Structure 1
């Protein structure tokens, strides 16, 4: 059965309008590797099916990539896009979430470039069928997914039409000096003992903050086997790959399409539990991320969300609504300007 065969899509664990597709990626040292593509398609009325869908994003596909120790589960985020007419796709990368197998080291990768195969397989599946021709592509990444997609978009110009980043992990949490100091040491360990573990420093406060901030109007059922309360083990090879990505960002990349970066207004250090952790990013130093974001392309909009968590779409109700409002304003403006530019550009 080919990846483009419609019968290959099966019901997803999210139920409702979600389906999933397994993407074979060959094998590595641990065995067979797969990624998993989840999709939600926009509802169209009989009138729209007969006479065309006039919604602003009816010609647009969205590809979401999750963060570290994470997977896709945010139904409302998908519906934000499908409600505007877009086709929404989310990629559970190899060794994460739906793609994780019992014999694998969760989340492990030796180079972020290896995810090119995951993304290529996802795009091939998204583009299967005559109705996929000529569609715009929006890349949407959270945290580590934002780093992965930023690097990918810069290496693959002309593919995406826009990039949206939700608290992208563009710089190390301490300082650039610290990153540059530890990188050779991590690189040496990664070369000879790539699966060596770093000490676990996550006390589970970020997960608790999400639970405290949960919005009853936007309920979510999280699989703790795929998104544990404390992050998955950090291995030397994986950390070396992340630091290499940060170094590339620091040197400057060129994403040649408009970029929207959503960040919390402030950070909080999670050394002890406090209610303050439910109104700030307790994972990244957001001011450092804002500065790093200015190095990823010539057209970058930074939206700071007061009271937001690291995943701005998991924040308390008011901050969550503000994040969706800000994203909506940006998407509407980008889409209208992009369509106008396409109409006036030479064939």
Structure 2
């Protein structure tokens, strides 16, 4: 495997930089992940901040990539070093000829996450070490939607690696609930065995993009090629991988770090547009997600945010401030001992 390249200026402009992380190639050829860091000039602070001596790694959701500059600024103000990971075949990591977002097992992302953690100084202890090396900095994992599911499964498989897990509307259960998931899984699995990359019917009507994009009713500018209005095509092998992750969560995980789950106070899942979608989650059934979140580990907090969107950090400014305040309050309780 080739060595990682140098940090270079990122598409978001200063003070963002990116690092290409070469991964093992697959049937579609070259595979990379991309790490983004926020590196403003240092400032003197007279008081210790809640996330001092902490590194944050953010992982995006389906049909997405990192562009939330305000989120990076928040973590920097809290004292953390902020990094975001564009997973393989997403955003900065998408290469010509690749199937956007495609994997057939969410554990494939272990390689992406391992490369990112090694780059920011949280590499796994080698088997030759007699005892784990003490870490000088804490690690917070922050995942949105499918990224939240991926990080939850990763944290369960890698006890002791993260000091905290923050989930932003994590996709922990199928929208048709466990009964619908159980009924659909065998059919989708059969489809995946016959044609794993077949294009499935697109059920995304573009309502979520309408709530977020500045070109419609939202306030955010981003690359519509990397975050399409109606999302990437869904393929059966990918959906089988997600449903398998949902089944694992339903069976109960044992994440040993404290977990904070941020959710909108309500969902609006309808086949037609309504203004209520501007102040609710139009992707997930939030009550079901809250129930599943409580099965992640022994220490779980659920924070309900009135008028939040599916990505709470893309909601209107008052909602975002409430989300940041919730994180700060939670950190003071669960990370203050550090």
What TM-score does the superposition give when structure 2 sets the normalisation length? 0.92
SS for the counterpart of 2:335 is: helix
Q: Is contact 1:270–1:277 with CA below 8 Å preserved after alignment?
A: no
Matched, 1:150 2:152: yes
What is the CA distance between 1:261 and its match in structure 2? Answer: 0.1
Please give the per-residue CA displacement for 1:42-64, whole angstroms capped at 9, x wherever unaligned: 6423x57xxx9843322100000
- Post-superposition shift, 1:284? 0.2
Q: CA–CA distance in 2 between the matches of 1:270 and 1:10?
A: 43
- How do residues 1-347 of structure 1 correspond to structure 2 at under 5 angstroms? 2-3=3-4, 8-41=6-39, 43-45=41-43, 54-127=48-121, 133-211=135-213, 214=218, 220-336=220-336, 338-339=337-338
Distance 1:122 1:53, change over 3 A: farther
Structure 1 residue 108, shift from structure 2 partner: 0.3
In the superposition, relative to structure 1, how do residues 314 and 213 fare at CA in structure 2: closer, same or farther (>3 Å)?
farther
* Residue 270 of structure 1: how far off its partner (Å): 3.3
Q: Which has the higher helix share?
A: 1
Residues of 1 paired with 2:66 and 2:318: CA distance?
22
Report the CA distance between 1:196 and its aligned residue.
1.2
The CA deviation at 1:184 is: 1.1
- Deviations along 1:177-199, whole A, 9 cap, x unmatched? 01011111111211221011210
- Give the distance between the partners of 1:61 and 1:101, measured in 2 at CA: 28
How many angstroms apart in 1 are the aligned matches of 2:40 and 2:13?
Answer: 15
After TM superposition, give the deviation of residue 213 of structure 1 in Å: 5.8
Distance 2:202 2:243 in 1: 18
Note the C-alpha offset of 1:272.
Answer: 0.9
Give the deviation of 1:152 after TM superposition.
0.1
Question: Offset at 1:309?
Answer: 0.6
**Tell me, what secondary structure is at the counterpart of 1:94?**
coil
Q: Which moved more, 1:238-247 or 1:33-42?
A: 33-42
Q: Deviations over 1:134-181 (max 9, x none)?
A: 210000000000000000000000000000000000000112101011
Partner of 1:342: none
Q: Deviations over 1:115-139 (max 9, x none)?
A: 000000001111189xx95210000
Q: Given that residues 146 and 171 in structure 2 are in contact (C-alpha distance below 8 angstroms), is that contact kept between their aligned partners in structure 1?
A: yes
Compared CA separation, residues 248 and 70, structure 1 to 2 (3 A):
same
Structure 2 residue runs without a partner (length 5+): 124-133
Cα distance in 2 for residues equivalent to 1:231 and 1:167: 17
Cα deviation, 1:240-263, whole Å, max 9, x if unaligned, reads 000000000000001111100000
Contact 2:16 2:38 in 1 (8 A): yes
Q: Does the 8 A contact of 1:213 with 1:317 survive in 2?
A: no
TM-score, normalised relative to structure 1: 0.90
SS of equivalent to 1:187? helix
Q: Tell me, which stretches of 5 or more residues in structure 1 are unaligned?
A: 340-347
